[in-house]
Amino acid sequence: MEVYFPATYVDQEALERYDGVSQGKYTVGLGQERMAFCGEREDINSVALTAVQSLMEKYDVPFEKVGRLEVGTETVVDKSKSVKTTLMSLFAEHDNHDIEGIDTTNACYGGTAAIFNALAWLETDECDGRYAIVVAADIAVYEAGPARPTGGCGAVAVLLGLDAPIVFEKGTRASYMADVYDFFKPHLDSEYPEVDGALSQRAYTTALDSCYEGYRRKAAARLGVDVTTDVPAYMLFHCPYCKLVQKSVGRLLYNDFKNSAPGDPRFAALENFRGLDHETSLVDRDLEKAAVKASASLFDSKTDMTLQCSREIGNTYTASLWFSLVSTIANATQSLVGQQLLCFSYGSGLAATMFSLRVVKSVAHLAAKINLHSRLAERVAVPPSEYNQILALREQTYGQCGLETTSSLQLLQPGTFYLVSVDEMGRRKYARTSGRRAQTTASELATTTARL
């Protein structure tokens, strides 16, 4: 695995002060600390190019050994030409054009769907011993207002093949699909979505309930295990914002409670809610608070540390769940072998799946190459006023043809691909920063940002 996120972020506490909202609205209410963002120099193609090229270089993967390449994203810059085709420029240099796969889109679920497609391909004769690569990547931006603090930007590139240290447990996936307008992007001239926040939370929770029930049933049949929240070592979630995940852990405990016998002392704090019907349980705030409190130790031990990337980077849409896996690898490196990871992927609209991973070998080499903690610490904080200016420029140039980007390259990490221009027909040209950044200090970087 390899990750990419921009070198710049905005601090959520500073954003609270700048927006004039109550202290803790973003940091406590949403559970967020920092939010990664990018300017007009970066788009979904450049983000994916950076992640894939870095993956190939760090793990010394022969370009000719890749037979499938898929991209999960909901960030669109062209209604016909896929991001995957842009990535083929990396493989053309090595004369490898025999690579299957294409983009997969359904809100935040696209990366998971792409991985399932790649897993299926690996078990066919078309694989022929080659690798599959899946890139889950998005740029999450919102118009000025209450949703803006739930943005973010990032990519996770995953190399899939035989004899891997992390394996997918077969026969236990459980999905929930429905037609829901909770989050959608009908305006093709804008990056901004339409969001029904209350509906989105209900849809997420409904899907979680259904997937957990289905996963438990299949795991009992396939693995011979009566699954409860006690079973997996860690529980990973798609994370639009961390507070929703904390509530989701409580919701899984509530599901365990519903499957228990009346009077079970493990669930004494929830006993008063045993008679609730499903629809009422979705909106009952007293139940939500009681479940979060009752599951506090469960959250602390099995989920909290999986949210490091989400807290530090923000919502990365298709990459969000996979950043949770990256956080787990980075924070529990030495204790993961033999452990099961329960995963819940959700995409608005909606599509959701619960599945499990098993760590069968050491992942220390992954943690070392990803180098998450150092890379997060090396980023530069940008004042909220400049952050809003950068997003305003991004909004102004979105979808524009005949564009030459002008922002300073000093804001980009070494080895980052960036957008050079968009010609009059909409054809995009990219370049890559050098492998080493000049010795630019954090204060110099911040000054460069302020001049934008």
Residue pLDDT tens, the chain, 452 long: 999 999 999 999 999 999 999 999 999 999 999 999 999 999 999 999 999 999 999 999 999 999 999 999 999 999 999 999 999 999 999 999 999 999 999 999 999 999 999 999 999 999 999 999 999 999 999 998 899 999 999 999 999 999 999 999 999 999 999 999 999 999 989 999 999 999 999 999 999 999 999 999 999 999 899 999 999 999 999 999 999 999 999 999 999 999 999 999 999 999 999 989 999 999 999 999 999 999 999 999 999 999 999 999 999 999 999 999 999 999 998 889 999 999 999 999 999 999 999 999 999 999 999 999 999 999 999 999 999 999 999 999 999 999 999 888 988 999 999 999 999 999 999 999 986 443 333 333 443 333 33
38 labelled catalytic: no
| pTM for the whole structure | 0.94
- The residues near 215 (Cβ < 8 Å, ≥ 6 apart) are 172, 173, 174, 227, 342, 354, 355, 356
The domain locations on the chain are 2-168+374-450, 174-362
The CATH class that applies to domain 2-168+374-450 reads alpha beta
Q: Do domains 2-168+374-450 and 174-362 have the same CATH topology?
A: yes
Which of 2, 16, 108, 153 is the catalytic position?
A: 108
Which of 40, 191, 211, 238 is the catalytic position?
A: 238
- The 3 state secondary structure assigned to 64-131 is HHEEEEEEECCCCCCCCCCHHHHHHHHHHCCCCCCCECCEECECECHHHHHHHHHHHHHCCCCCCCCE
The 10s digit of each residue's pLDDT in 129-150 is 999 999 999 999 999 889 999 9
239 labelled catalytic: no
343 labelled catalytic: no
Which of 33, 70, 74, 312 is the catalytic position?
A: 74
Domain 174-362, second-level architecture: 3-Layer(aba) Sandwich (3.40)
